[in-house]
Structure 1
Amino acid sequence: MVIETERLLLREFTHEDFPALFEIVSDPETMRHYPQPFDENRTKDWIEWNLQNYKEHGFGLWAVVLKETGEFTGDCGLTIQIIDGESLPEIGYHIHKNYWRKGFGSEAASAVRDWAFMNTEYDCLYSYMKYANIGSYSTAIAIGMRKVKEYPDEKNGISYAYAIKREEWEKLKW
């Protein structure tokens, strides 16, 4: 599975991605909106979870690499998440802090949004995040999502949910 954008390739994770992923998800600054940065075991579990998602659903978070150099810059993809008690299709993303504010998150997330609407039957896609995660909700807005819910969340205190409906996406794309 590969999604190609102007600057990026999104591909399935492999176990060889561990060091590059660990550099991102173990970083306190990158993971400041999570309960804590990932340790080695949590990072390995993250890769395994995605490998299982590929088998079960045909999608998951994919490795994001620079097309020009092959450098690993993060992950982005579609997963099923519990958002305010409901299992919903969610576009998630983590980009290495060296690549923040360069449009890579929104470029990858836009490609995942397009892939999801073209390859699944979902009528609505979501992104959710801790209320203080400005970078994450800015990415959601950049790909055409709008805030649809604010709710108490045990993990985040307060979470925001953003969404885009298929008919909204069709107006954006065509």
Structure 2
Amino acid sequence: MIILETDRLYLRPYLDEDIKSIHDVFSDKETMTFYPAPFTIKETTEWVKRNQLRYKEVGYGLWAVCLKETRALIGDCGLVKQKVDNQNEVEIGYHINKKFWSNGLATEAASACKEYGFYQLGLEKLISIIDPSNRASIRVAEKIGFTKEKEAFIFNKNHAIYSGTKE
């Protein structure tokens, strides 16, 4: 079941058989630089299961990002409820396999998720929670029209909160 489609990508719910493919992304040290550590296979499995539960509970989560041309799973992108400074927010999150960095794919997926959040779900505001040193993620947020709103202590460290509102 395809949730979103762009020129080069489609986003769909995670399947149990995606664990190996997405683990290639989450177990990579460079990709996970801004996380405490690369994921173990157990952590990746829990990540997939957590998102599958989100689909059932709230109707969205992080989805598998697949290349249309090859159908290969190259990362994830989607919407996740977060609590920032005691406020309920919805975050656009994204992770792309480093083999595909610098091709605009994260921006393409995040832009589609932004449109989905605003026009399918009727949300008025979306955020991205970004480590202030993660220039690549900041560029993605800025390319989809987000600006830095503030800094917040979340996930046991300071993060920049980028946000955008429905136009």
Check if 1:53 corresponds to 2:64: no
Match of 1:95 in 2: 96
Check if 1:158 corresponds to 2:123: no
Kindly provide the CA deviation profile for residues 138-165 of structure 1, in whole angstroms up to 9, marking residues without a partner as x.
100010000001133452x321000111
Kindly provide the CA deviation profile for residues 38-94 of structure 1, in whole angstroms up to 9, marking residues without a partner as x.
111110000011001100111100000000110111000001012233221000000
Q: How does 1:68-147 map to 2 (within 5 A)?
A: 68-147=69-148
Deviation of the 1:118 alpha carbon: 1.1
Answer yes or no: is the 8 Å Cα contact 2:82–2:90 preserved in 1: yes
User: For residues 14 and 81 of structure 2, what CA distance do their matches in structure 1 show?
Assistant: 17
Paired letter, 2:85: D
User: For residues 154 and 68 of structure 1, what CA distance do their matches in structure 2 show?
Assistant: 36
> Mind listing any 5+ residue stretches in structure 2 that lack a counterpart?
none
- Relative to the length of structure 1, the TM-score reads 0.92
Answer yes or no: is the 8 Å Cα contact 2:84–2:152 preserved in 1: no
3-state DSSP of counterpart to 1:125:
strand
Deviation of the 1:137 alpha carbon: 1.0
Q: Structure 1 pair 13/100, CA: closer, same or farther in 2 (3 Å)?
A: same
**How many residues get paired?**
166
3-state DSSP of counterpart to 1:55:
helix
3-state DSSP of counterpart to 1:35:
coil
Paired letter, 1:107: E
3-state DSSP of counterpart to 1:32:
coil
User: For residues 104 and 83 of structure 1, what CA distance do their matches in structure 2 show?
Assistant: 27
The Cα RMSD (Å) is 1.1
3-state DSSP of counterpart to 1:16:
helix
Aligned identity (percent) is: 40
Q: Structure 1 pair 45/154, CA: closer, same or farther in 2 (3 Å)?
A: closer
Paired letter, 1:24: V
> Mind listing any 5+ residue stretches in structure 1 that lack a counterpart?
168-174
User: For residues 29 and 89 of structure 2, what CA distance do their matches in structure 1 show?
Assistant: 28
Match of 1:35 in 2: 36
3-state DSSP of counterpart to 2:127:
strand
Deviation of the 1:23 alpha carbon: 0.5
